[in-house]
A and B are shown apart, each in its own frame.
Chain A
Amino acid sequence: MTCQEFERVLPELGDGRTMEQEAHLRSCSACSDLLADLNAISQQARLLQGSEEPSPWVWNSIEVALQQEGLIRQPYLAHSQPPAPPPLLGWKLRWLVPAAAMFLVAFGVLMFQRGTGQSHVAEQQTAAVGVETAGLQPMAGDDLQLLKTVGERMPSMRAEYEANLESVNAYIRDAEQSAHSDPNDEVAQQYLRNAYQQKAMVYEMALDRSLP
């Protein structure tokens, strides 16, 4: 069997291969490399299934449409609405909505500037980002605080917000890794900005729903 003959049967090739094809693969490194690459692409592709998280606004829009169309027949959270918390708690947390959103988006912008800025300016900005990044660590505490608040106000939603935060934090870590491995990669910077915007939205939604 020649390489051209092997290539012709390749689109039809499944797990079962003829002895002739097996013999060709053993003797031809180009064809066996090609097959290994195509299999690797295929296997890696399966991991992409369900790997992206939609913005929280998608559910908001669906919910509004369901209400308008009369498909939702019960008032939202009517049966799980917890008693109102002390007023102070609301005020104590209300600042978190704009603060978290601004902080996260600002971080994304700084990351973008670091990726696209010129060398000298970029170095200064990188240092600034380093400080900001270090400052970001306490966000884990904020995440816990947010979950605590959601748990007190909407116990049934806590697990969902926890899953959302875990997911968006994983997205951020993934995007940060890519952005750091190649700071000039604009796609990676865009992923990172999207990741922070998503986290800001999760905060905004959680607090918007949980505040009195």
Chain B
Amino acid sequence: MTDAKKQQGNKLSEAEAIERAKQGDAEAFEALYNLHKRRVYSLCLRMTANTAAAEDLTQEAFLQLFRKIGTFRGESAFSTWLHRMSVNVVLMQLRKKGLPVVSLEETMETEEDAPRKELGADDSRLAGSVDRMQLQRSIAVLPPGYRMIFLLHDVEGYEHNEIAEMVGCSIGNSKSQLHKARMKLREILKTSRAEKATKP
């Protein structure tokens, strides 16, 4: 059961919590936080690969949300509003730190960053053997530009047109970065599996 459903089953619904939060009700703020904390924090953690930074960004995202909650009119889903705000908070933070949000030009990609073309290689399939922990670790070592697009598309479920708008790149660039990210992850996962297999 998701956090949201559990929460709704037990006490305040999201709509009630929003209305009560607008009146300054502390429990309503906490209920809204509890409904969405995992998704926001997970996004921040994966984008920054740093627990302390992720906690700061989660705090910042929720504070921005709560400061503006009086203006929420319910035209869009609350979760969409919150998650878009979280992404913006993270992107702004990454830009402030000068970290690349997306590769500027595909031609600038280094040989090291580019996924190796493995078509025709005699490698066995990964499918069925990708576990969560392995995938988490592999995502953490992706180049930042790839990681951002991969997280937004494959983990968070945004479409390429939304990503292009949020990140400030073309739809084609978003598709291309996503493909390269998946290829790079495949390579990292295979290397990790091969290393494990050769360990005594």
Q: Mark B88-100, 1 if CB is under 8 A from A, else 0.
A: 0000000000000
Tell me the complex Cα distance, A49–B42, Å. Answer: 7
Give how many A-B residue pairs fall within 8 Å (CB-CB): 161
Residue A131, interface by CB 8 Å: no
Asked if A34 and B11 sit within 8 Å, CB to CB, the answer is no
A49 to B46, CA, bound (A): 10
Are B135 and A45 in contact (CB-based, < 8 A)?
Answer: yes
Within the complex, what minimum Cβ distance (angstroms) separates B83 from chain A? 10
Are B6 and A156 in contact, CB atoms less than 8 angstroms apart? no
Shortest CB distance A115–B (Å): 15
- Beyond A76-B27, A77-B27, list 19 extra A-B contacts (CB 8 Å): A11-B175, A30-B121, A38-B186, A41-B135, A44-B135, A45-B155, A48-B46, A48-B132, A49-B156, A52-B45, A71-B29, A71-B66, A75-B26, A76-B26, A156-B11, A159-B11, A163-B3, A163-B7, A182-B196
Q: Say whether A44 contacts B132, CB under 8 Å.
A: yes
The reply on B113 being an interface residue by CB < 8 A is: no
**Range class of the B interface residue count:** 35 or more
- Grouping DSSP codes into helix (H, G, I), strand (E, B) and loop, the B interface class, with mixed when no group exceeds half, is helix
With contact pairs A50-B42, A58-B58, A62-B33 given, residues A41 and B176 touching in the complex (Cβ less than 8 Å): no
| Chain B hits for A46, CB < 8 A | 154-155, 157
Give Cα distance in the complex from A38 to B190, angstroms.
12
- The SS class assigned to the A binding surface is helix
B58/A72 in contact, CB under 8 A:
no
Q: For the complex, what is the distance from the CA of A156 to the CA of B39, rounded to whole Å?
A: 23
Distance in angstroms from A174 CB to nearest chain B CB is: 8
CA–CA, A33 and B123, complex, Å:
9
Give 1 or 0 for each of B65-83: 1 = CB within 8 Å of chain A CB: 0110000000000000000
Cα(A33)–Cα(B118), bound, Å: 11
Q: Which residues from chain B contact A39 at a C-beta distance below 8 Å?
A: 127
The list of the 6 closest CB pairs from A to B, nearest first, reads A73-B24, A11-B179, A50-B39, A45-B154, A54-B41, A50-B38
Binding-face segment, A2-10, A90-98, A141-149: A2-10
